[in-house]
């Protein structure tokens, strides 16, 4: 199963960030279905704290988090750690240039949660094959 870390029996940790709880719930199930351990965040503060305190293997980031906030800060933190992430967004056109330039994989909303998770885990399976 792609969810298992190759060097241990620990399931991989996947950060899931979305300001919509119902989408978060759906993605959490989908991450579990892929054999990984979901760590969910509803906002920037939660997400940054998860990134700081856990070894994350991959991440799914909602781009616009309400009140003008974007996931840019989290994306930068992950990029600095070399953690792959997908940008999950309902508005690719309006997406902040700064976020776009971060170079995560873009997954338009709505995409089935299982597909979003598969896209997020893609870099891991390629790397370890």
Q: Footprint of other proteins on this chain (CB under 8 A)?
A: 20, 22-23, 25-27, 29-30, 64, 90-91, 93-94, 108-110, 112-113
Nearer to other proteins, 27 or 59 (CB): 27
Interatomic CA distance for residues 69 and 64, integer angstroms: 6
User: Where do runs of H (alpha helix) occur along 60-112?
Assistant: 72-81, 97-100
Give least dist CB 22 to other proteins, A.
Answer: 5
Give least dist CB 112 to other proteins, A.
Answer: 7
Nearby residues of 51 by Cβ (< 8 Å), 6 or more positions away: 15, 74, 77, 78, 81, 83
Nearer to other proteins, 66 or 103 (CB): 66
Give least dist CB 49 to other proteins, A.
Answer: 24
Nearer to other proteins, 15 or 51 (CB): 15
Nearer to other proteins, 35 or 90 (CB): 90
Question: 88: closest CA among 2, 12, 3, 26?
Answer: 26
Interatomic CA distance for residues 81 and 52, integer angstroms: 10
Whole-angstrom CA distances from 114 to 50, 60, 67, 110, 126 are 22, 12, 28, 12, 18
Give least dist CB 102 to other proteins, A.
Answer: 20
């Amino acid at each position: 199963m792609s969810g298992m870390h190759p060097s241990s029996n620990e399931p991989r940790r996947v950060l899931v960030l979305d300001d919509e709880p119902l989408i978060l719930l759906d993605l959490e199930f989908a991450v579990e279905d892929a054999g990984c351990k979901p760590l969910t965040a509803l906002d920037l503060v939660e997400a940054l704290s998860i990134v700081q305190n856990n070894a994350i293997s991959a991440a799914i980031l909602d781009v616009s988090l309400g009140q003008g906030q974007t996931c840019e800060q989290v994306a930068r933190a992950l990029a600095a750690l070399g953690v792959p992430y997908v940008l999950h967004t309902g508005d690719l056109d309006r997406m902040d240039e700064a976020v776009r330039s971060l170079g995560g994989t873009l997954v338009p909303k709505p995409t089935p949660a299982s597909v979003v998770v598969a896209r997020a885990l893609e870099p891991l399976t390629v790397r370890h094959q």
